[in-house]
Amino acid sequence: MTTLDRYIANLFLKNLAFMLLALVSLYAVIEFIEKVDDFIENQAALVYYFLYPVYNLPLMISNTLPMAVLLAAFATIGGLSRTNQLTALRGGGISISRISRSMFLCGLLLCGLLLFCNLWLTPLGIQQTEYIKEVKIKNKTKDLASESKDIYFRNENRIVHIKRSFPQRGALFGVTIITFDDRFKPVERLQAESGHYQREGLWSFKEVKIWQFSAVDKTIRGYDEKADWLLDLGKDPSQVTQLWNNPEEMTQFELHEIIKTMQADGHDPRVYQLESHLRLSKACIPLIMVLLGMPFALQRGRRPSFALGIIVSLSVFVVYFVLYAVFAALGSSAMLSPVVAAWSANILITLTATWLFLRAQD
């Protein structure tokens, strides 16, 4: 890397650090204002005021990094133009493409960072924040029916219903298990407040209520309550994860596993395939934002307005995420394939950015 590359990369990274810190801080303040009432109302322990934003940090970085990159690219080129350094470089025969080379390299590295966040860190962080919010703070182990996280699966002669699952912690909440006889008539109903994985498919359930039914007339012939109850479901937490219906909270490996399972069972895994491709496409946004930020700065002459840069950045993001949402909806409704739906917004924005970049070099 030449001296020029190091100089411009240093300017870009300094601007990026400032923009990212400002945007993440703003995001965190808004998130805190939204959640603080729940923390106070439920008398949350002080440690969760610290842990919640820490676990939420990958999501905040993932959501704010693209805009920070766009603003940093605008500020870097705008700063060079304002101090006449850009004019001197171009007068010396150095093209815009050569000047921006190190910024594109930084954008490529940021794509790798964002990809790692999207595939693993962000889903794991969402899982942890949901667990803190719903279990540790709100203590909603008895009121999880309002959460649309229901899981149903068949386990030999039993049907299992789970209202909320936290597979990474091996925890289930709101568990109902109905056992049938050979003629598929219910003979037992087990209802547990929570369950925790022990070993080899064995689960320990808490606050258990058990009803036994007569197979002849379906009347209740027995009732019992247990503080603890061990039961073999034949599934470990990762297998429960495969039945979990919130793709945003699943790591890339979990998405891959559920797609394979659903395809083998003859089910349509479109929602999970779309989520997988969207994560890959979103990871490319920093490089696109570098390409898009420079021509807007170059078109403002020697006095690029930073306020205008913010307005332009917000406008670009509104357009991008409208396209992103529209194509994602078309993908979910099977009007477009998951691959086309995930990458269409990126392709349109890239073509626009490339055209603007090439024009700015004339």
Q: Residue 12 and residue 333: Cα distance in Å, rounded? A: 40
Report, in angstroms and rounded to the nearest whole number, the Rg of the chain calculated over CA atoms.
26
pLDDT digit string (tens) for the chain, length 362 residues? 688 999 999 999 999 999 999 999 999 999 999 888 888 888 888 888 999 999 999 999 999 999 899 989 988 988 888 888 888 888 888 888 888 899 999 999 999 999 999 999 999 899 889 888 877 776 654 444 444 456 777 777 888 888 887 777 788 888 999 998 888 888 999 999 999 999 888 999 999 999 999 877 778 888 999 999 999 888 877 666 555 557 888 888 888 888 887 787 677 889 899 999 999 999 999 999 998 888 777 765 555 566 776 777 678 778 888 998 899 999 988 899 999 999 999 999 999 888 888 887 66
Quote the pTM value: 0.78
Residue 61 pLDDT: 95
**Following CA atoms 140, 143, 145, 146 in sequence, which dihedral angle do they give, to the nearest 10 degrees?**
-80
Q: Residue 258 and residue 229: Cα distance in Å, rounded? A: 29
Q: Are 274 and 340 in contact (CB under 8 A)?
A: no
3 state DSSP class of 118: helix
Q: Look at residues 323, 325, 345 and name the one whose alpha carbon lies nearest to residue 333.
A: 325
Q: Residue 159 and residue 207: Cα distance in Å, rounded? A: 19
Tens digit of pLDDT for each residue in 310-326? Answer: 777 678 778 888 998 89
Name the phi and psi angles at 318, rounded to 5: -60, -45
Partner residues linked to 189 by β-bridges: 178, 211
